[in-house]
Amino acid sequence: MLFISIAVLSGCASNSTQTNSETSSTKDGFTIVTSFYPMYVETINVAKDIPNVQVINMTEPQTGCLHDYQLKPQDLITLNSADAFVVNGAGMETFLDDVIKQDKDLKIVNASDGIDLIKDASGEDNAHVWVSISNCITQVKNIAEQLSVIDPKNAEAYQSNADAYIAKLEALKEKMHASLDMVSNRNIITFHEAFPYFAEEFNLNIVDVIERDPGTTPSPKELEDTINIVKESKVKALFAEPQYPAEAAQTIANETGAKVYSLDPGVTGTADETAYDAYLNVMESNLKSLEEALK
């Protein structure tokens, strides 16, 4: 019945991760499945080098945010191998609600437990909590703690790995604050609503959002309104995201004299060895972009 229900719910997009083909080989170990790339990066750091523990990402590393994601039969096969399923929570994985209700044995690790959520323009919870380094640290702690309950024999290793990764995140957060706390110009315009938690952490003021729904093209009226806001507020920095085309941002820049920079929410990457430092590298790149734009 579960397979039938998923077939009805599934969309037309393809799904194949680097590790899906290895699912059947880990039945004697402990298999952790993650919902999308940010959760994958956090979880592989928590589970790093623990024997017989494997982390599989359910979606492709290049999937991006799961705003309009539709579950597919291959996802169910991957989930069927899970001893634990790590999700972002905060409304990001609503497409999984029916599956979770039907599979009572699926152990869910909610990485966003205890995080205060920001409402977006439509009044819904903004799910992009990991983009804040402080929230990312909380998520890593949650993942380690909840995995330790589900897989107690590896609890000490999960906690040790989490502590090591959190030390790197704390050092990066301190470095970013040392640079950005001194910035006088804090007004920015972002591509879509992925950065409220990041802006809150570093006391940046998001004056406007170019595309509130990623992948949608702003109407001529919306573009005109944003252009007027840029002119009135004297915003000099527009931040596009590498996952989406920047035509709208460039149009606004051409009309206002503002410059387009890049801010990466860290939702895409690779599933190889470089993934361990993917979030750290993205935030380092974001820091450089902000330094150039705001100083």
The whole domain housing 124 covers 2-173
64 and 204 inside one domain: no
| Residue 235 is assigned to a structural domain of this protein | yes
| Residue 208 is assigned to a structural domain of this protein | yes
Q: Which amino acid is at 206?
A: I
| Residue 279 is assigned to a structural domain of this protein | no
Give the contacts of 125 (CB within 8 A, at least 6 positions apart). 90, 91, 117, 118, 119
Please answer whether residues 118 and 128 qualify as being in contact, where contact means their C-beta atoms are separated by less than 8 angstroms.
no
| Residue 272 is assigned to a structural domain of this protein | no
Distance CA 225, CA 126 (A): 23
| Residue 270 is assigned to a structural domain of this protein | no
pLDDT value of position 72: 86
195 and 241 inside one domain: yes
82 and 194 inside one domain: no
Give the contacts of 224 (CB within 8 A, at least 6 positions apart). none
Alpha helix segments (H runs only) across 151-219:
155-180, 196-201
110 and 197 inside one domain: no
pLDDT value of position 9: 37
| Residue 192 is assigned to a structural domain of this protein | yes
240 and 154 inside one domain: no
238 forms beta bridges with 189, 260
Rounded-to-5 percentages of helix, strand, coil across the chain: 50, 10, 40
| CA within 13 Å, CB half, 249 | 28
Distance CA 107, CA 95 (A): 17
Q: Which amino acid is at 266?
A: G
- Structure token pair of residue 97: 């609600």
Per-10-residue mean pLDDT for the chain, 295 residues long? Answer: 39 34 54 97 98 94 84 90 96 88 89 95 91 98 98 98 98 97 89 92 91 69 86 86 81 89 94 95 97 90
- Final residue belonging to a domain, choices 173, 194, 225: 173
C-alpha dist (Å) from residue 261 to 134, 180, 241, 287, 293: 23, 16, 8, 11, 7
Distance CA 19, CA 115 (A): 30
Q: How many domains does the chain have?
A: 2
pLDDT value of position 212: 61
* CATH at residue 227: 3.40.50.1980
25 and 160 inside one domain: yes
157 and 204 inside one domain: no
| Residue 41 is assigned to a structural domain of this protein | yes
Q: Which one, of 99, 91, 54, 93, lies nearest residue 73 by Cα?
A: 99
| Residue 277 is assigned to a structural domain of this protein | no
148 and 17 inside one domain: yes
